């Protein structure tokens, strides 16, 4: 079992976004499983890079919905994305430079907690708005 498990309560009822959220969960779980197995930097680094890249792709997809449907809280939500992206990039840089020796439980706990909270609070707010616009 992984660190984070997809549950129906995470669904924002937009198929594309739900699929992307599930992919983010899988990437975090791959990092966790690598940590548990004691994998080294050479194996975990590419997964961390993939997580960073996919996070940007996912955030762009959400922000495209915001723009297309003129979501009124878009700027606030984008700021959350920017803050997370900066933090993830900093953690990845520290990992690659050796400042942070490995993927830690603390890092994975931060990633999984942030993602769960972000989906359940911020993403569900835009979900309500977009459902009113009949977006699926």
The superfamily in CATH containing domain 12-131 is Hemerythrin-like (1.20.120.50)
User: What's the pLDDT band for 36 if we cut at 50, 70, 90?
Assistant: confident
User: What's the pLDDT band for 105 if we cut at 50, 70, 90?
Assistant: confident
Listed by start position, the domains of the chain span 12-131
Spatial contact of 10 and 120, defined as CB atoms under 8 Å apart: yes
Give the model's pLDDT for residue 1.
67
Write b or e for each residue in 25-55: b if 16 or more Cβ atoms lie within 10 A of its Cβ, otherwise e: bebbbbbbebbeeebeeeebbebbeebbeeb
Report the percentage of the chain scoring pLDDT > 90.
Answer: 62
Residue 101 pLDDT > 60, yes or no? no
Per-residue pLDDT reduced to its tens digit, 47-89: 999 999 999 999 999 999 999 999 999 999 999 999 999 988 9
Indicate the average pLDDT of the chain. 90
């Amino acid at each position: 079992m992984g660190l984070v498990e997809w549950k129906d309560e995470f669904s924002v009822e937009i198929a594309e976004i739900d699929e992307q959220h599930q992919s983010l969960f899988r990437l975090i779980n791959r990092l966790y499983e690598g940590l548990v197995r004691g994998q080294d930097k050479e194996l975990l680094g590419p997964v961390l890079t993939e997580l960073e890249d996919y996070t940007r792709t996912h955030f762009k997809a959400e922000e495209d919905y915001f723009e297309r449907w003129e979501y009124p809280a878009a700027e606030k939500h984008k700021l959350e994305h920017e803050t997370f992206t900066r933090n993830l990039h900093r953690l990845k840089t520290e990992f690659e430079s050796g400042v942070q020796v490995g993927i830690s439980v603390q890092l994975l706990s931060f990633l999984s907690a942030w993602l769960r909270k972000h989906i359940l609070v911020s993403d569900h707010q835009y979900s309500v708005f977009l459902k009113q616009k009949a977006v699926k």
